[in-house]
Amino acid sequence: MVPRDGKCQYSESLPRWLACGMTSNAETRSPDNVPLGVATIVGTVLALSLGDALIKSLGGAGGMGIWQLFVVRSFIAFPILLAVALVIFGRNRLAPRSLGWIAIRSSLLALMWVAYYLSLPLLPLAVAAAAYYTLPLFNVAFAAIFGGEDVARKQRAGVFIGFLGILLVLRPGSEAFQWAALLPILSAVLYAAAMILTRTKCLDEHPATLALGLNATFILFGLIGLAAGWVLQVEGAGFLKTSWTAMSFDAWRNITVLAALILVASVGTAVAYQAAPASTIGTFDFAYVGFALVWGAIFFDERPDAMALTGIALIVLAGLLAVRRPKIVG
């Protein structure tokens, strides 16, 4: 959000280009439109949670592997995104300033999605979502350790509460513990690391350039995974399947829907953080966890027990404490 004084408010749990929009000229900004921002982010996380439920249904026995998913989905999304970006922003504004850092950032994000998607067939959707939404806690920790930023007492309390919630969800040492629950936490760590690069090394890159770089990396990772399976004669299983699965009409329809959801999420996130303060939007971003509970119950008959629900609630509370701290940047 850019106030009338031309300064940009953002939360350190978010990249500044998301919080401050897609250009740096404050004079072109419109006044805050909080209802639009809130409605947009809720619609965005609704789309993302539904997409993740669809991916969960595609994984496992008989479904396509994650490498094929990356290739097909981004082959659909990349040309659409490129064409739209060229028409709206022009070639000069999309020119990358540091291909190396874009590649590292995109690789971290691709690995993040690998870890998260691998967890979906193995965990209840709501548990995976809650574990991933420890992200603000790692953002706060990384910002303090690597960014030299001050951490408020409220945020320290949020980190403590969040990790207490993780213990309730994971229950290490008990029969209910699942190693797969560490995958979405790993994805949160990878995402937080990517956001540190976004704020430090990719701050001057256009958001559309970063989105194009990420989709190109998805294609590259997918081709490498498929090629490695073919060369090494390793079939893999479930979401790690390395062979190409013949796609029916329904499969192509599902992948097209996923590609559309990714594009909607990319645009929706930018619109939401342009329309309202990042601390407000970050709060409603946690609606994803609620949607994940609903989709898990409807599509997969998943009903987390009381202890897991308590842990999920604590993680959401901790995340809210972590994101609700706007900062003024001159």
Task: Look at residue 203 and tell me if it is in a domain.
Answer: yes
Mean of the pLDDT values across residues 112-134?
88
The rounded distance, in Å, linking the Cα atoms of 123 and 72 is: 25
Whether residue 2 has pLDDT greater than 80: no
Average of per-residue pLDDT values in the chain: 78
Cβ atoms of 247 and 72 closer than 8 Å: yes
Q: Which segment of 13-27, 30-44, 269-283 scores lowest on mean pLDDT?
A: 13-27
pLDDT of res. 25 = 39
Q: Does some domain include residue 192?
A: yes
pLDDT tens per residue across span 78-105: 999 899 889 988 888 888 888 999 999 9
Domain ranges, residue 232: 8-20+30-329
Residue 118: closest CA among 213, 200, 240, 19: 240
**Alpha-helical runs (H) found in 201-302:** 207-232, 249-275, 278-285, 287-300
Is residue 116 within 8 A of residue 183, CB to CB? The reply is: yes
User: What pLDDT sits at residue 216?
Assistant: 93
As a whole number, mean pLDDT of residues 304-315 equals: 86
2 in a structural domain: no
SS3 328: strand
Residue 155: pLDDT above 60? yes
Question: What pTM does this model have?
Answer: 0.76
CA 318 to centroid of chain Cα atoms: 18
Kindly state whether residue 3 falls inside one of the protein's structural domains. Answer: no
Residue 304 lies in a domain: yes
What H or E segment, with its residue span, contains residue 247? none
Distance in angstroms (rounded) separating the CA atoms of residues 20 and 276:
10
Q: Residue 76 falls within a domain, yes or no?
A: yes
Instruction: Please report the pLDDT score of residue 237 as a whole number.
Output: 62
The pLDDT value given to residue 107:
95
Percent of the chain with pLDDT over 90: 13
CA distances from 320 to 76, 147, 161, 259, 279 (A): 35, 21, 11, 29, 9
Contact yes or no for 124/304 (Cβ under 8 A) = yes
Q: Is 221 exposed, middle or buried (0-12, 13-18, 19+ CB in 10 A)?
A: buried
At 99-110, the pLDDT tens digits run 999 999 999 999
Considering its fold, how many domains does the chain have in total?
1
Only one residue has tokens 């409603």, namely 284
Q: Is 220 inside a domain boundary? A: yes
User: Average pLDDT, stretch 30-39?
Assistant: 79
52-56, 149-153, 281-285, 325-329: segment of lowest average pLDDT: 325-329
Q: Which residue has the tokens 């995958």?
A: 183
* Higher local confidence (pLDDT), 304 or 222: 222
Residue 25 domain-assigned (yes or no): no
Q: What is the pLDDT of residue 220?
A: 95
Phi, psi of 10 (to 5 degrees): -150, 160
Of all helices (H) and strands (E), which one includes residue 60? none
CA distance 152 to 140: 10
Residue 247 — very low, low, confident or very high, per pLDDT cuts 50/70/90?
A: confident
- Calculate the alpha carbon distances from 46 to 41, 207, 212, 269, 295 in Å: 8, 22, 23, 12, 10
Q: Which residues contact 265 (CB under 8 A, 6 or more apart)?
A: 44, 47, 48, 51
